[in-house]
Chains A and B, each alone.
Chain A
Amino acid sequence: MDLMTKLDILADAAKYDVACTSSGSSRSAQKGKLGSACSGGICHSFTPDGRCISLLKVLYTNVCIYDCAYCASRRSNDVPRAAFTPRELADLTIEFYRRNYIEGLFLSSGVIKSPDYTTELMVRTLSILRHEYGFRGYIHAKAVPGTAPQLIDELGHLADRLSVNLELPSQKSLALLAPQKSQANILAPMRQIRDSIAEDAETRALARRKPTFYQRQVRVARKQEAFSPAGQSTQMIVGATPESDYQILTLSAALYQSYQLKRVFFSAYLPVNQDPRLPSGDAVQLNREHRLYQADWLMRFYQYRADELIDETHPFLETDVDPKANWALNHLDLFPVEVNEAPLEVLLRVPGIGPVGARNIIKARRTTTLRESELRKLGIAYKRARYFLTCNGVYGGAGVSFTREALRPLLAAPIEGGRHGRRADRVLPGQLSLFSDLQQIPERPSA
């Protein structure tokens, strides 16, 4: 099989992995070696669906011993199978990297023979890249559940970021759709990665400390590459099983907290297989995925807790109002806030003000009193924020009554996800009718 066909098969099989970030790791260039990594990451291209391509995202092989219902490469599917050799894949990465096509390699794999065997092949590829070619770019590797801890340790010292796929949000769904996987099996490597990252950071901190009279300089026995310096991430499929947004967000909050994950990715379930265990309709829940990401951003950058965004009595996020606006509408008693005085964490809760805008406001108000005209220049969405702000004592949303009912339609933001593909096939709740919305017109009282 030639390289072109292999790449076609293995890139096609990897495309449902959502993570494609090259951020979180900073490795400066070194004379005589190829590559560097910058902490913000660089997106080198964008697919026709607008997702970024930052890494060469391929499977090592799409041969798999597992038979997960949702997966295109499952054992029972009749698809062409292929595998790279370690040298082939390392060469391809270098060739792409030198042309500035990619930021590095994203290496995932189907499980061939056993998890250990698969990981060994991945380790061999990465050590050719790192040790033989001296590659200093970004590497993201998938840890396969069930792999021996020693192999994961080896993989972690070669990669910038490790990830273990959670696949589905609950043990019950996992048992239904991926009977060969179990949550305990998935969480074990996540725990190991978390502990290794912490241990590595601590060792480095100790080694950096200057010696004192009472404490000698700590020397590291063997100099090693950092263990997964960009942390770990995970992903789960949304919409293949009946879990609610409440369960998903609570789970991801717990993962951020107890496993110190850098990212939790959601991927809207795309029907690729015919299987009685899967939902039958072929509507892709892209809008739901979008709202979940918004909630995820609020937890990571806006200091919201999961239980503020969603609760058990309303287990799904609103479809026509974003979670931040929804929170503000439910807490109108905390608004309006004075833009010249409110602290950062309060400004972050105003719809229309983002992390950048909030920090710009704080910078600008050191020298000037902010009124409407000044505020409009600071890169915030004043149109939305006005209802929740006073600028130097003047309320911005005058003319609209300050109630949930009046403000809600003004803040409603249906997701404009493009006019193409399945996203455009919006399901209308009923046939359009000219008269159904009209209320009974009261009769004019006769004179």
Chain B
Amino acid sequence: MNAAKAGEAVRLDTAHASGLSTGCSQANSSAYSDLRGEPLQQVAYLYDGSLEGLLCCVFEAYSRHEDPEDIVPEAAYQPRFEQSSFFVSADYERALRVRRGVEREAGKKAFSAIAYAAANDNPKTGIAVYRFIRYVMDGPKRNKRRSALNDLSNPVVADLVALEKHVVKESERMRQFVRFSQLENGVWFARCNPNANVVPLVMNHFASRFNIQPFIIFDEVHHISGVYDGNTWYLVADDVVNVPARSAEDAFVEALWQQFYDSLSISSRYNPELRRHFMPVRLWKNIPELHPVSKSALQKNA
């Protein structure tokens, strides 16, 4: 459990440090410190896609007394007509202040919902989180104190809870369907393609369960790897990974698993719709039992 705790602390730091596209601001945007004076009417805040960046956008909206139209990751930004935009860089201290504020007013559960929702790829995430924080901080007293998440019929809360639920479901899918294979150098490696940035959210689970094996989980979509070195875990942002070949034994165990999967099926109950429901086709490419058994693996060990 100590390893897990250490990992948590690391996560906040590295997620902040690993901002994917920091520094490349657009032509019509400038740093937030350049824009002082009247609050802007039509404005979009851009952030780096991390939770810290998003919380800093919220901080900025409060400090400038503005009500932004959009809060979006810079990569997903599509300017509206007559809209000005600027990039808010992630600042750990400011993000922490927003976190403390939310936890004071609405409890830890509300912040955890925000943290999960922020991992969603939906471009509306930013503004939904912003509106929820506004609702928690500015709304009437009865909305506060741990009951904010209960007001499920309120569109502001419903949107946030839907975004959170999506991420919770996707992280559960990763717990189910991430498949490790052993490399020649003894490290265990897994590829995955989740539709939300959930690798940071599942690392605690894997790092505690597989604490005897160093492993890497590489997210092909978000280009983030979760690395567990046998002691603690951290995140690495990189577009490609170059890993050594699989160990000789690994292909055989995989073939055994494929064999097991095939013999477990009952043909008179065949129901592919149900399987697709539980196991979305978009994830199949990284699930070995759904591919035919490789003949070479069988012959090598026969």
Residues of A within 8 A of B (CB): 2-4, 7-8, 11-12, 14-16, 28-29, 31-36, 42-53, 56-58, 92, 95-96, 98-101, 270, 284, 286, 360, 363-364, 366-368, 370, 374-375, 377-378, 417-423
Is B62 an interface position by the 8 A CB rule? Answer: no
**Which of B235-255 touch A at CB < 8 Å?**
253-255
B259 & A4 in contact (Cβ 8 Å cutoff): yes
- Give the A-B pair count, Cβ closer than 8 A: 180
B1-60 at interface with A (beta carbon < 8 Å): 1-4
Q: How far is the CA of A366 from the CA of B157 in the complex (A)?
A: 14
Which of these, A42, A378, A423, contacts B152 with CB under 8 Å?
A378
17 residue pairs from A and B, CB less than 8 Å apart? A14-B264, A31-B2, A36-B209, A45-B289, A50-B271, A52-B278, A98-B213, A99-B179, A99-B254, A100-B180, A100-B206, A286-B269, A360-B152, A364-B153, A418-B271, A418-B272, A423-B270
Complex Cα gap A81–B172 (Å): 38
Contacts of A99 in B (CB 8 A): 179-182, 188, 253-254, 257
Interface residues of B in 134-160 (CB under 8 A from A): 142-143, 147, 150-155, 158
Contact yes or no, A377 B176, CB < 8 A: no
Identify which of B142, B155, B209, B272 contacts A420 (C-beta below 8 A).
Answer: B272
Chain A residues contacting B260 (CB-CB under 8 Å) are 7, 11, 56, 58
Residue of A nearest to B266 (CB): A49
Q: Which 5 A-B pairs have the closest CB atoms?
A: A50-B274, A374-B153, A29-B208, A49-B269, A421-B270
A49 CB, nearest partner CB in chain B, Å: 4
Which residues of B sit under 8 angstroms from A377, Cβ to Cβ? 152-153, 155, 158
Given A8-B263, A11-B263, A42-B172, 11 other A-B contacts at CB below 8 A?
A4-B298, A8-B259, A15-B265, A31-B211, A34-B209, A46-B274, A53-B264, A100-B178, A284-B269, A421-B268, A423-B270
Asked if B273 is at the interface (CB within 8 A of a chain A CB), the reply is yes
Expressed in whole angstroms, the Cα–Cα distance for A237 and B271 within the complex equals 21
Please indicate the chain A residues that have their CB under 8 angstroms from the CB of B270 in the complex: 48-49, 418, 420-421, 423
In the complex, A418 Cα to B270 Cα: how many Å?
A: 8
Minimum CB distance partner of B165 in chain A: A379
**Inside 8 A of B259's CB, which chain A residues have their CB?**
4, 7-8, 11
Contacting pair B256 A47 (CB below 8 A): no
- The residue on B at minimum CB distance from A28 is B1
On chain B, the residues within 8 Å of A374 by CB distance are 153
Choose from B1, B177, B206, B302 the contact partner of A44 (Cβ within 8 Å): B177
Query: Which residues of A are found within 8 Å of B172, using beta-carbon distances?
Result: 42
A49 and B211 contact, CB distance less than 8 A:
no
* Per-residue contact bits, chain B 206-237, to A (CB 8 Å; 1 contact, 0 not): 10111111000000000000000000000000
CA distance A48 to B253 in the complex (A): 21
- List the A residue with the shortest CB-CB distance to B287: A45
Give A5 Cβ to nearest chain B Cβ, in Å: 9
- In Å, the complex CA distance between A2 and B252 comes to 12
Confirm or deny: B267 has a beta carbon within 8 angstroms of a beta carbon on chain A.
yes
Judge whether B277 and A50 touch: CB under 8 Å: yes
Do B257 and A96 have beta carbons less than 8 Å apart? yes
B151 & A364 in contact (Cβ 8 Å cutoff): yes
Chain B residues with CB below 8 A from A378, complex form = 152-153
Separation of A382 and B287 alpha carbons in the complex (Å): 37
Given contacts A47-B264, A418-B273, contact A33 B212 (CB under 8 A): yes
Whole-angstrom distance between the alpha carbons of A15 and B269 in the complex? 12
Verify B151–A368 contact, CB threshold 8 A: yes
Find residues 91-144 in chain B having any chain A CB closer than 8 Å to their own CB: 142-143
